[in-house]
Chains A and B, each alone.
Chain A
Amino acid sequence: MIWHITKRELYDNLISLRFALATFLLFGLMLTNAVVYLREHPERMQKYHDDVTEAQNELSTRTHLYDIAVHGPGSLYKKPSVLQFCAEGGDVFLSDRVFGGFLHWQDGNLTGFWSTLYHYPNPDSKNIRPDTIKVDWGFVIGYVLSLIAILFTFDSISGDREHGTLRLTLANAIPRHTVLIGKFLGALVSISVPFTLAVLANLLIISTSSAVQLSTDAWSRLAIIFCIAILYLCLFLALGLLVSSLVQRNAASLVILLLTWVVFVVFMPSTLAPITSGFSKPMGHYEYTQRRSKLHEQLKSEYEARVQNMDAFPSKKMELAGEFVMNDVAQRINLGQEYVSQQHAQIQLMRSVTRISPVAIVQHLFESFAGSGFERHRHFVENVQRYAREYREFVMDMDRSDPDSPHIIGVREGMSQKPVNPESIPIFEDRLSLSHDFNAAAIDLFLLVLFLVVLLSGAYLAFVRIDV
C-alpha cells in the first residue's frame, strides 16, 4: 500500500513544474561547481607543491646542527583538500601555512631558536569583491536543496485536504501512518532522483578530468557526504509534512515554512555567531606581540645581570647563554599556544551555538569529511605543533648522539659540530585521517539525527491527530 501511495505521489511530482525547475537548478549549480573546481584546484595544488618543494630545498641546504635549530624548517604548509568542491569551508579566509623561523632575535652574538609563529595574515584581506557564498556542495545542499524540499512538501497534506482527496484516501482501509510514509517516500524519491543525477554529473566531470585524482579514501568520504545530504533532505521533508498537516490551508503552510526556513537557514548562523563572539575576548595580536617582547626583555635583563662578571669562566657563561636561549624559545612557544588556543576557543564556542541551525550542522559535517574549514585547520595546527616538537627532539637527539659535543644547546660552540645528513631531518607531512574526522563530526551527526527524529515523530503525531 505504501508503495502505491508513493507511486502516485511520484507521478504527480514528476510532471509538475517544480520538478522541472528543481532539476534545472540542481544541475546548473552542480555543473558550475565542477567547472569552477576544475579551474581552481590544479592551481591550488601547484602552489602547494611549489611551496613545499621550496621549503624542503631550503631545509636540505643546511648541514650544521646549530643552523638547523636556528632556521628551522621554515613555513609549514597545509595540504589543500581534494574534496574542496564539497565544502569550501571558508578556506579563503584561512592561512594556508603556519609561519615559523622568521622570528629570531639577535642579541650580541646570541640568536633565538626557530619556533612557530601564529600571526595569520588573512589571505582575503585585499579582496574588495562583493561578499558571497561559495557555490560548493554545502551551499547547494544546505540552502537550495532544503528550499526545494520545502517547496515539494508544503502542500502534500494540506493540498490534499483542500482538494478533498485526503478524505477519499482515508476512506479506504489505509492506516494513517502508511499514508504519511507513502507521501514522505514519494517526495524523497522525487527529489533524490534529480539530486543524485546532478551529483553524479558533477562527479563524472571531476573524476574524468586528468587534473584531479580521487582516491578510495576520497570516494568513501564522498559516500558519507552523500548520505548526510540525504539525511538533511529528510529533515526538511519531515518539517514540511509537519507544518502541512498542522495547517488547514496551503498558503498558510507555505508562509510558515518559508519564514521558518529563512530564520533557521539564512539568519540564524549569522545572527548567533556575533552574539557569542562577545562572550570571550581572545588575546589580540597587538597584546600578543607586546607580551612576547616583554617576556623576552625580562629574560634578557635577567641574563645580562647574571652574565656580567663571568668573563673569567667562558664555559659557565656559555652554559648560561644556552639556558637563556632555551628558556626564551620555551616561553615563546607557550605564549604562542595560548594565543592560538584562545582564538580557537572563541570560534569553537561560536560554532557550537550556531548548531541550532541545521544548515550550520550540515556544513560542519561537510567540512569535517571534505577536509576543509575550521576543524581541519585546527587539526593542521595540532599537526604542526607535534611536528615542531619532533623537530626540536631531533636536534636534541643529534646533539646527544655526538660524544664530542659539549651538549650546550642554544649556542653555536656548545652544539655538535658534526655535519648532519639533510635526509635524516624529519619532514612535515600534513595528513587526514577518517577516524579523526568521524570523532570531530560525531556531535553534529548526532544532532542531525536527533532533529530528524524529533521532526518525523512530530509529523507523525500531527498527522495521526488531525481532523480531515
Chain B
Amino acid sequence: MLKTLIRRELLNNLMTFRFAAVMLITLLLVVANTAVLIQDYEQRVESYNDAVKIHYEGLRKVKTYSTMYLFVDRAPNPLSIFNVGLDKRLGNLIGIWHGFVPTLWDTEMHGTDNPFIAFFSSIDIVFIFEVVLSLMGLIFAYDAIAGERERGTLRLVLAQPVRRGQILLAKYISAMLCLLVPLILSLLLALLLLIRSIPLSPADFFRIGSIVFASFAYLSLFYLIGMLISVATRRTGTALMLAMFVWGFLILVYPNLIRATINPGGNIQERVNTVNNQVQRIVDEYERDRKKFLENEGIAEGSRFHEVLGLYTQASVDSANMMSYIENLTNISEIPPDFERYVSVAKRYFDFVEPLTIRTTERVWFIRKQALDDIFVRQATMDRILLRLSPVGMYDAATQTLAGTDLLGLRDFFEATRRYRKIVIDYFYAKRAFGSREWFAADKGAVDWSTFPEFVFERSDFSVNAARALPDLFLLIICNLVLFMGILLIFTKSEV
C-alpha cells in the first residue's frame, strides 16, 4: 500500500511546473556560482603563493638573527566554496617572532586587498541552499494535505484501509525523493567543475558528503514545517501565505534582526584598560630586569655600547588594541674596532635578555588572549546560539564546521603557528643563537638559513570536524523528528 501511495505522490510531484522551475533555478544558481567561486578561490591561491614566495625570499635576505621577521601565510581552504565562514575574514598573514605571540586578532591580509570589496556580501553554495532549499521544501509542502482536503481527494484516500501515518510517510518520502534530484544533481555538477580545477583530498569528499547530508536534513526540516502548516490549515491559500511569511521570517528577517538587536558587548573599554594595566606591569618588570643586568655589567644608558649596537629596545603597550611589543632589534653588519671589547658583554646581554623576552611575551599572550576571547568570541558565540533558533543557524554552523572554516578551524591554524614559533625558538636555542655574534652582527658571515625549520599546516582530520559538527547535525535531526511527530499527532486528530 505504501508503495502505491508513494508512486502516486511521486508522479504528482514530478510532473508539475514547480518541479521544473525549481530544478532549473537550482542548477543555474549552483553552477554559475560555483564557477565564480572557483575563480575567486584561484585568485586567493595565487596571492597566497605570491605572498609565500615574497616571505621566503625576505627571510633569506636577513643577515642577523635578531632582525629576523618571519611571516606565515594561511592558505585558502578549498571547501570555503561550500561555506566560506571565516576563511576570508580575519587576517591570513601572521608574523612569527620570538618577541611576540600572535593571537587570532594580530593578523594582516596579503594579496590584492581592496578594502571596499568587503561590502559586497560573499556568497557560497551553502548560502544558495539555505535560500533555495527552504523555499523548495515549503513550495512542495504547503498543499500536501490542505490541497487534498480542498479537492476532497483526502476523503477518498482515507476511505481505503490506509493508516494516516502511512499517508504522511508516503508524502514525505516521495517529496524528499523528488527534492533530492535538484540537490544531488546540482552538487554533482558543482563537484565536476571543482575537481577539474581544485585538487581535493579523499577527506574532503567525506566532508562534502557530510555537507550533503546536512543539506538534506535542512531541506527535510523545511518540508516538514510546510507540512505542519498544511495539516493545521483548512485552505491552500492560507497555508501558502503562512508558509511564505514563515519563510521570510526564518530566512530573511530573524537572522538579521537578532544580530542587530543583541549587543552583548558589555563594558569593553574597562576590560581593555585592566588588561593594559596588567600587561604594563609585566612589561615594566621586564624593563627593570633588563636595566639591572646592564647595570651589573657596568654599562650606563647612552654609552658607546648602546650607540654602536644601535640598540633599539622598545617594550610598550598600545592601549588602543591591547598590543604589546617587546623589541630588541639591532641591525649592524660591522663592528668598529673599539667595540671589540664589548662583544663578549653584548653576547652575554642577548643571551640573558632574549630568553627573558620569550618568557615575558608568553605571559603577556596569556592575558591578552583571555581578554580578546572575552570581547570578540563571546559576542560571536552568543550570536551563533541565538541564530540556532532558526534552522538556517543550525545548518550554517554544521556546514561551516564540516568545511573547517569555522572559528575552531581557524584556531587550529593559530595553534599550528604557535607551535611553529616554539620550533623556531628551539632552533635558536639549539644553535645557541642568542649568545652568538650572528645575533647582532654580520661581519663574520651572515646567518645560514638553509636548515631553518619550515612551517607546515595540515587541516584537522575529518573525524575531528565531524565530531565538532555532530551537535548541530543532531539538533537538525531532532527538530525533524519532533516536527514529524507533531504533524502525525495533528493529522490523526483532525477531521477530514
Contacts and interface: CB of A to CB of B under 8 A. Distances in A.
A313 to B, nearest CB: 32
Given A36-B260, A124-B118, A252-B17, A267 B407 contact: no
A135 B109 CA distance: 28
B90 A126 contact: yes
Contacts of A344: 116
Given A251-B143, A263-B29, A343-B114, A275 B36 contact: yes
B160 interface: no
B289 to A, nearest CB: 31
Interface string B96-125: 000000001100011111111111111100
Contacts of A130: 255, 259, 380, 383-384, 387, 396
Number of chain B interface residues as a range: 35 or more
A347 B117 contact: yes
B26 to A, nearest CB: 10
A29 B253 contact: yes
Contacts, number: 182
Interface in A282-297: 282-286
Contacts of A373: 119
A346 B114 contact: yes
Contacts of B253: 25, 28-29, 144
A93 B115 contact: yes
A134 B135 contact: no
Given A17-B241, A139-B256, A263-B29, A343 B115 contact: yes
Interface stretch (A195-203, A254-262, A419-427, A441-449): A254-262
B120 A134 contact: no
Interface string A251-280: 110111011001100110111011101100
Interface in A73-129: 89-90, 93-95, 120, 122, 124-129
Contacts of A46: none
A151 interface: yes
Nearest to A135: B260
A302 to B, nearest CB: 25
A362 B167 CA distance: 47
B22 interface: yes
Interface stretch (B177-185, B200-208, B243-251, B479-487): B243-251
B360 interface: no
A357 to B, nearest CB: 12
Interface string A8-39: 00000000111001100100110011011001
B313 interface: no
Contacts of A284: 47, 111-113
A122 B139 contact: no
A132 interface: yes
A249 B104 CA distance: 55
- Interface residues of chain B: helix, strand, loop or mixed (majority): helix
A21 B241 contact: yes
B176 to A, nearest CB: 19
Interface string B18-34: 10011001000100110
A17 B238 contact: yes
Most buried by A among B32, B139, B259, B380: B259
A133 interface: yes
Nearest to A343: B114
Chain A contact residues: over half helix, strand or loop, or mixed?
Answer: helix
Contact of A131 (B36, B113, B121): B121
Interface string A356-398: 0000000000000000011001000000000000000000000
B377 interface: yes
B89 interface: yes
Nearest to A120: B115
Contacts of A255: 17-18, 21-22, 139
A143 to B, nearest CB: 6
Contact of B132 (A132, A262, A283, A377): A262
Contact of A132 (B105, B237, B256): B256
A231 B39 CA distance: 37
Interface in B381-431: 383-384, 387, 396, 407
B470 interface: no
A92 B248 CA distance: 25
Nearest to A283: B112
Contacts of B238: 17
B121 A271 contact: no
A81 to B, nearest CB: 16
B236 to A, nearest CB: 8
B110 A286 contact: yes
B135 A262 contact: yes
A267 B118 contact: no
A465 interface: no
Contacts of A377: 116
Most buried by A among B21, B244, B396: B244
Contacts of A155: 237
B123 A134 contact: no
Contacts of B132: 262
A144 B112 CA distance: 35
A271 B40 CA distance: 11
Top 5 A-B pairs, shortest CB-CB distance: A90-B119, A273-B120, A93-B118, A284-B112, A270-B123
27 contacts: A18-B245, A25-B248, A25-B249, A28-B253, A39-B263, A94-B115, A94-B116, A95-B115, A126-B90, A127-B89, A128-B407, A129-B383, A130-B255, A130-B383, A131-B122, A132-B259, A132-B260, A135-B260, A254-B139, A255-B21, A262-B135, A271-B29, A274-B36, A278-B40, A346-B116, A346-B117, A377-B116
Interface of A: 16-18, 21-22, 25, 28-29, 32-33, 35-36, 39, 89-90, 93-95, 120, 122, 124-135, 139, 143-144, 147, 151, 155, 251-252, 254-256, 258-259, 262-263, 266-267, 269-271, 273-275, 277-278, 281-286, 343-344, 346-347, 350, 354, 373-374, 377
Given A39-B263, A128-B380, A266-B131, 18 more contacts: A18-B241, A21-B242, A25-B248, A25-B253, A32-B257, A90-B118, A120-B115, A135-B256, A135-B257, A144-B253, A254-B240, A258-B135, A259-B21, A267-B29, A275-B36, A278-B40, A282-B112, A346-B114
